[in-house]
Amino acid sequence: MTVTDTLGRPVRDLRISVTDRCNFRCVYCMPKEVFGHEYRFLPRRELLTFEEIERVARVFVDLGVKKLRITGGEPLLRRDLELLVAQLSALGDDLDVTLTTNASLLVQKAKALADAGLSRITVSLDSLDDEVFRAMNDVDFPVARVLAGIDAAAEAGLPVKINVVVKRGLNEASVLDIARRFRGTGHAVRFIEFMDVGATNGWRLDDVVPAAEIVATIGAEFPLEPVEAAYRGEVAERYRYRDGAGEIGVIASVTQPFCGDCTRARISADGKLYTCLFAVRGHDLRALLRSGSADTLEETIRAVWTRRADRYSEIRTEETSALRKVEMSYIGG
C-alpha cells in the first residue's frame, strides 16, 4: 500500500541513523568547538535497538519504500552493524540496502557487510590531499586509510560511490584531483554543495560552490555530457565522460533545490521520524515502539507522511538558515 504527501510525493527512501557519534570532527559537520568533550551524545538506552529499527523499516517497506540507507554519525561505530544489514536485507528481495560511511573502519568491515547482503556503499571523501583531508576531518585521519577502505569494499564486491562535499576556500582544489583519480575505476563520484544543515556549521551562501561551477571545472579538462535521470527523486544530476571513462554527479541542493521530487524520510538514532533534512522537529516513534502495536506504528507513519508539506530548500534564505534545525550527525546524512 503506498502513501503520498500533500504535494503528491510518495515515500521511497528511508535513511536510518544508527548513532549520533562519529570518530571524525569534519569542520563543516561536527565542529570540535560544539562536539567537544562536554558534548552529550545520546545514551545507549535511547538508541533504537536493531529489532526496533527492523520493525520501523518493515512498515516503511509496506508503505512503498524501495531503498534503505544506514547512516549516522558514523554507522560503523555501531557494534555488529552487519547484523542489522542482514535483518534489513531480509525485508524484501528487490530492496536496496546501502550504507554511508567515512570508511575509517571499512578495511575490517567490508567483507562482513557484503556477506550480510549490503547492496552497495557510499564513502565520504572530501580531498585526496592528505594535509587538506586531515584538516577537514580535524582528527588527523590519513587519507590513505580511506582509500584502503574503498579498495576493501570493491574487493568485497560492493559497488562504491564517493561523496565529496565542496566548501569554498577549503577543498575546491580537490574537485579535479578526485575526478582524475576515480575516472575509469567504476566508482561514481558525487559532488555535493555545502548545505545549511543544523545550526552549528556556520554556513554562509558564499561558502557554496555551485554545482554548475563544479561541472564546468571538470568538463574543461574532461568533456562531459548530461545523463537522463534514472528515476523520479534521483538527487544527483548525472554527467558522463564523453570518452567513456564513467560518470560523475552533482547534488545541487542549494542552487537547484529538488524538494518537488523528494521521496525521503529519516529516522534519527533515537527513533524520531523526520520528513525533511532541514526539519526543526521530529515525530517520536520510539515511544510507540516501546508501548504500542504494529498497527499504531503504521497508522502514525502514514498520518505523518500524509500531512507532509516540507520544501525547505525551495524557500531557503539567509534567515531560514539560522533556524534551530537538527544536526546532520543526529538526523543522519
* Of the candidates 5, 64, 56, 16, the residue with the CA atom closest to the CA atom of residue 259: 5
Q: Are 70 and 76 in contact (CB under 8 A)?
A: no
Q: For ligand SAM, which residue of 97, 313, 328, 330 counts as binding (CB under 6 A)?
A: 328
Quick note: the x/- pattern for ligand SAM over 201-240, rule CB under 6 A, is x---------------------------------------
Nearer to ligand SAM, 100 or 301 (CB): 100
Residue partners of 271: CB distance under 8 A and separation at least 6: 48, 52, 56, 284, 285, 286, 289
Q: Are 161 and 167 in contact (CB under 8 A)?
A: no
**Residue nearest to ligand SAM according to CB distances in the complex:** 333
Q: For ligand SAM, which residue of 165, 175, 189, 301 counts as binding (CB under 6 A)?
A: 165
Q: For ligand SAM, which residue of 106, 121, 128, 197 counts as binding (CB under 6 A)?
A: 197
158 binds ligand SAM (CB under 6 A): no
Work out how close the CB of 74 gets to ligand SAM at its nearest, in angstroms, rounded to a whole number: 4
Rounded Cα gap, residues 210 and 239, in angstroms: 15
The three cell numbers of residue 64 are 512503498
**Other CB atoms within 10 A of residue 61 CB:** 16
241 binds ligand SAM (CB under 6 A): no
Stretches 70-78, 127-135, 171-179, 304-312: which one binds ligand SAM (CB under 6 A)? 70-78
Look-up of cell digits 518493515: 58
The three cell numbers of residue 48 are 533504537
Work out how close the CB of 165 gets to ligand SAM at its nearest, in angstroms, rounded to a whole number: 4
192 binds ligand SAM (CB under 6 A): yes
Q: For ligand SAM, which residue of 74, 207, 237, 310 counts as binding (CB under 6 A)?
A: 74
Q: Are 195 and 209 in contact (CB under 8 A)?
A: no
Q: Which helix (H) or strand (E) holds 149?
A: helix 143-155
102 binds ligand SAM (CB under 6 A): yes
Rounded Cα gap, residues 10 and 263, in angstroms: 6
Distance of CA 308 to the CA centre of its chain: 21
329 binds ligand SAM (CB under 6 A): yes
Binding site for ligand SAM (CB under 6 A): 22, 28-29, 71-72, 74, 100-102, 124, 163, 165, 192, 194-195, 197, 201, 328-329, 333
